[in-house]
Amino acid sequence: MKIEWECSENLFMDAPLELVGDCCQLAEGLTLSCAVHVLFTDDQQIRILNREQRQVDRATDVLSFPTVSYREGRTARESGKRLKAEWDPELSACMLGDIVISIEHAQAQAEEYGHSVRREVCYLFAHGLFHLMGYDHMEENEKKEMRLMEEKALNMAGISREEQTPHATDDELLALARLAMTRSYSPYSHYPVGAALLCKDGRVFTGCNVENASFGLTNCAERTALFKAVSEGAREFETIAIASVATPPYPCGACRQALNEFAPELKILVTWGEGQSAKTTLPELLPHSFGPSDLA
């Protein structure tokens, strides 16, 4: 998901909102590239917005303003035409709307619920996003459905209140890799690649290839995801999903070696073309590998 930020300080850059956004839209079954505008603000400003836009004169945790007006009882997945009408050619994505989050409220609620501000911000973002996709919580059954969707998306992103929650499935990882591919920076090769790396603790880190005018500095999607993960403290990995366009994107030699450092038993999923996919493992792609144990 593309996020257009508006924030005085990037206080919550450690909250993986792009990933949460991808997981929310996939939980809803949307595979087209989507975008949102996010404003982080304080109680005073959110109160003004709430008063001006909704005639409610009080501060709140999150507000959302959808661009699409959904038909009664319908959500984004059943509103393809209306969504496509919001396609922004400059962003190459469908603009779903605006989300406003009060940092002050998020901090207070995190303390009240006994979890991190990071989790609270992810939850509020997911909540706002489901509103942008046509969900509401006026009736008890609607509220239940919206909560289920939020939990599903946050679990998929590895952000959950429970320790033991199901990890992203192979199909979900493949879909996350395809979405990560839409962020590829590949103006020289025109070969976009996306990757989604599942950690043993359930977190998922995504990455895309990032090319450079000097060519040799290009970073592959797999190593982007791996380096993001390791630099956030993750060291143990279960599966990597890799997506590209025309041919099966098996990892290059450098990526195989980099992945072997942390996960010599890694499962590897690749997808390309019109949803073709294949499975393999790192030992199969890198037999007789050289790794940390050889130095022991």
Which residues are designated catalytic? 222
For position 97 contacting ligand THU by CB under 6 A, the verdict is no
Nearest residue to 101 via CA among 152, 138, 64, 141? 64
For position 222 contacting ligand THU by CB under 6 A, the verdict is yes
The three-class DSSP label of residue 223 is helix
Nearest residue to 291 via CA among 272, 271, 266, 264? 264
First to last CA, the chain: 43
Give whichever of 45 and 257 is closer to ligand THU, judged by the CB atom: 257
Q: CB of 117: closest distance to ligand THU in angstroms?
A: 33
Residue-wise DSSP of 70-102: --TT--GGG-HHHHHTTEETTTTEEEEEEEEEE
For position 280 contacting ligand THU by CB under 6 A, the verdict is no
* Choice from 109, 186, 280, 289 touching ligand THU (CB under 6 A): 186
* Choice from 209, 239, 260, 271 touching ligand THU (CB under 6 A): 209
Distance CA 247, CA 130 (A): 34
For position 31 contacting ligand THU by CB under 6 A, the verdict is no
Distance CA 131, CA 126 (A): 9
- Per 3-state DSSP, the chain is made up of helix, strand and coil in percentages (nearest 5) of 40, 20, 40
Count of residues engaged in binding ligand THU, rule: CB under 6 A = 14
Distance CA 147, CA 91 (A): 30
Q: CB of 17: closest distance to ligand THU in angstroms?
A: 23
CA-to-CA dists, residue 10 to 6, 7, 48, 294, angstroms: 9, 6, 22, 42
Encoded amino acid at 22, one letter: D
For position 218 contacting ligand THU by CB under 6 A, the verdict is yes
49, two tokens:
């917005």
* Choice from 96, 149, 153, 193 touching ligand THU (CB under 6 A): 193
For position 277 contacting ligand THU by CB under 6 A, the verdict is no
Distance CA 1, CA 4 (A): 10
* Choice from 252, 273, 281, 283 touching ligand THU (CB under 6 A): 252
Give whichever of 202 and 251 is closer to ligand THU, judged by the CB atom: 251
For position 255 contacting ligand THU by CB under 6 A, the verdict is yes
Q: CB of 24: closest distance to ligand THU in angstroms?
A: 25
* Choice from 104, 147, 165, 191 touching ligand THU (CB under 6 A): 191
* Choice from 68, 220, 266, 270 touching ligand THU (CB under 6 A): 220
Stretch that binds ligand THU, among 9-17, 51-59, 107-115, 247-255 (CB under 6 A): 247-255
Q: CB of 198: closest distance to ligand THU in angstroms?
A: 17
Count of beta carbons in the 10 Å neighbourhood of residue 253: 9
For position 221 contacting ligand THU by CB under 6 A, the verdict is yes
Q: CB of 239: closest distance to ligand THU in angstroms?
A: 16
For position 196 contacting ligand THU by CB under 6 A, the verdict is no
State the sign of the Cα–Cα–Cα–Cα dihedral 128, 134, 135, 138.
positive
Q: CB of 218: closest distance to ligand THU in angstroms?
A: 5
Binding site for ligand THU (CB under 6 A): 186, 189, 191, 193, 209, 211, 218, 220-222, 249, 251-252, 255
